[in-house]
Structure 1
């Protein structure tokens, strides 16, 4: 039988770096414009709601990962605590939803670095480059994540420093925009949640972390605290310096802060590209580990339940994922990909919260109230996303359920 084992070689710093690199690119450089168009001046309220959901989900993931330190994250947690079907639907939502995230990140990367005519070819190219890095081994992935996260933070700090030096370009106001109010704020929170989901990469890599019962919970919550602080600073800065109306019109709002500063613009562009590449690197890694876990159980074809004999990475999955993303990138839309991904990942964390709720006192690290709040808010935010995202998510679940019901007996 083919070997599917993974190397347990990552320490706490490696795991935190992968989590931070997975989150920073998505939130800082992609999602502020769409979120501001929904929440207007209530963007900070939406960020707080998204942060609360992320914290509840992270604590549930950390508690579960300490008990079940295996590749697959909530797919494994759901199977162990709730049964095969909840686990399968969580894993299916993660793989398909995060594939949409990968497409969004690749498109955002190319939008920062090349003119529009070259964006799709460059997006496809960066996917293949990062898949190649993943195929070299998980320690190479962790090293790349550290480098990309550092470059991203330098670019971000440069843009904010220049922006604050120049001062505000628009009147600051807290009044909701055209789509503000309760519904718009919740919709923005759902979109912003897309930016927090990187900590799941740490849980899905449970077989590659040393001393996982201790390291994984610390890495998940440590990465989330760092990113929460970064997002709060960026959100306040963008609202003050641009104002909610102008912010809502910006596809790349941080570039507006460095207008007229060519050197700072170059530093920001390099940082943005690094951040988005880091997020994409973490996404492809997390998808591969969940896909591997599902293949081991026969929920996806067992042909994928193989790791490379030398690098111990699921190389077949990585290559097929790159092929799928190439096809998606030929037809994908950035905003649609973000909404679709948010819906799928909120369902994934709904299962995580319910699974954590069932854990006994021996394995409990956080009060059950956190899991109840997390589960309820996952449902609320998923329901308030744009209707096209909700419809796509429902169709996603239907296709996944049909596959599991009708898949050939030989794959089970």
Structure 2
């Protein structure tokens, strides 16, 4: 008789990578191109390279930690187990911010797409229909989510490939720089490091998908594939972002051709391939947003599940697994309910606040490597260990700290308010320190759902 209280192991390497890429939404590079091009003075691909370097160091740390703690929970689990349960709780709470907001932003983007196509239909209808469908698919099970996500990711990758071909043709015909063999998208006289770092801060949230990958570790068919899945997600996603931004920057050295710089994707499609390609390109963006919605909805549901299973949130609700679908059903429905807030007219601040939680998570994953391997296991006696477990994660933490210093002020304020709420809740949870947080059941060991009793 199988154990119906645990997550089902059904995801292979490429299914997990696909979920990560779906979460990253590769077409977002075109949506944010105008904003980042203005911020960096026309070197968007350089900003993506800077962000990719930071993400690679952090991805290496994720790969180390996911082998030590093969459970869903990500930065929350790693910090709690290696540094402090209290700090782990606050890191998990901060991470909830970007995980909860990404599904909401996906719903908002879908609403905006549908408003442009059907302006006479009340916008709230699109949000409700989208959220109900995404919630139902996630409730049904990860195998269904993974399969649909794979189809959507393949569709958007094909469209991105089509864009690159058309961009090459337009450049060959003299558009923009008139050639792909140009260094202007990477360096010119008006490039400043602070501007590049500001741009890197804007685009770093696009890499959150590799963080989300760790949420599926309890559903991987083999735990050993997780480090490889993390690195592949970062490298493939980073390559797509760089290539797309390089060609786009070569086509559009500045933003003077765009009527709307807040979301340049429709105009990029129009200028590169005409009206027909614009409509096809928008359909690809729609598919990318749905794929991201599926993956982000699944990820935050599992983070809430781990926090509930461990007692950090009410266990009866958040730690519940549906006996038939083997999914954290309460959390899936709750995330859907939160996503309905996308009915509101503007979520600009929310998109900026996402980076607050992401950078907190990235920083503490790097620090967790040092805490576990150097401090606890005393692995600092060889040059290899010092380099792997101290220098590399320290560089990763330092680089995320640099990006942190370039966060938008409003994002910092909103993020600090959220963390303050978490601190108050933690004090309530521990009865104002009369009960130790370690007294809560933090046992991560669960029976493998694939094993019969």
Q: TM-score, normalised by structure 1?
A: 0.90
8 Å Cα contact 1:304-1:314 kept in structure 2: yes
Q: Give the structure 2 partner of residue 199 of structure 1.
A: 210
Structure 1 window deviating more from structure 2 (165-174 vs 289-298): it is: 165-174
CA RMSD for the aligned pairs?
2.7
Assess, with a 3 A threshold, how the Cα gap between structure 1 residues 378 and 46 changes in structure 2: closer, same or farther. same
- Aligned residue among 291, 308, 312 for 1:299: 312
Matched, 1:273 2:283: no
Q: Give the Å deviation of 1:334.
A: 4.3
Question: How many residue pairs were aligned?
Answer: 407
Structure 1 window deviating more from structure 2 (310-319 vs 148-157): it is: 148-157
Q: Secondary structure at the match of 2:41?
A: helix
Assess, with a 3 A threshold, how the Cα gap between structure 1 residues 406 and 187 changes in structure 2: closer, same or farther. same
What per-residue deviation string (whole Å, max 9, x for no partner) do you get for residues 305-363 of structure 1? 10110111101011011111212x13363432221001111001111110012233889
Q: Give the structure 2 partner of residue 311 of structure 1.
A: 325
CA–CA separation in structure 2 for the residues paired with 1:269 and 1:160: 15
CA–CA separation in structure 2 for the residues paired with 1:242 and 1:124: 37
- Aligned residue among 137, 146, 151 for 1:147: 151
CA–CA separation in structure 2 for the residues paired with 1:247 and 1:176: 21
Q: Secondary structure at the match of 1:234?
A: helix
Q: Give the structure 1 partner of residue 301 of structure 2.
A: 288
Q: Give the Å deviation of 1:288.
A: 0.8
For the pair shown, the structure with the greater C-alpha radius of gyration is 2
Q: Give the structure 2 partner of residue 243 of structure 1.
A: 253
Q: Give the structure 2 partner of residue 231 of structure 1.
A: 241
Q: Give the structure 1 partner of residue 166 of structure 2.
A: 162
Q: Give the Å deviation of 1:157.
A: 2.0
What per-residue deviation string (whole Å, max 9, x for no partner) do you get for residues 226-284 of structure 1? 11111111110110111233488533434323326233223212211111111121111
Q: Secondary structure at the match of 1:60?
A: helix
CA–CA separation in structure 2 for the residues paired with 1:371 and 1:27: 28
8 Å Cα contact 2:56-2:234 kept in structure 1: yes
CA–CA separation in structure 2 for the residues paired with 1:210 and 1:184: 43
Q: Give the Å deviation of 1:61.
A: 1.0
| Structure 2: gaps of 5 or more residues | 178-183, 380-384, 441-453
Structure with the higher helix share, 1 or 2: 1
Q: Secondary structure at the match of 1:195?
A: helix
Matched, 1:122 2:139: no
Structure 1 window deviating more from structure 2 (239-248 vs 301-310): it is: 239-248
Q: TM-score, normalised by structure 2?
A: 0.83
8 Å Cα contact 1:57-1:349 kept in structure 2: yes
Q: Secondary structure at the match of 2:43?
A: helix
Matched, 1:24 2:25: yes
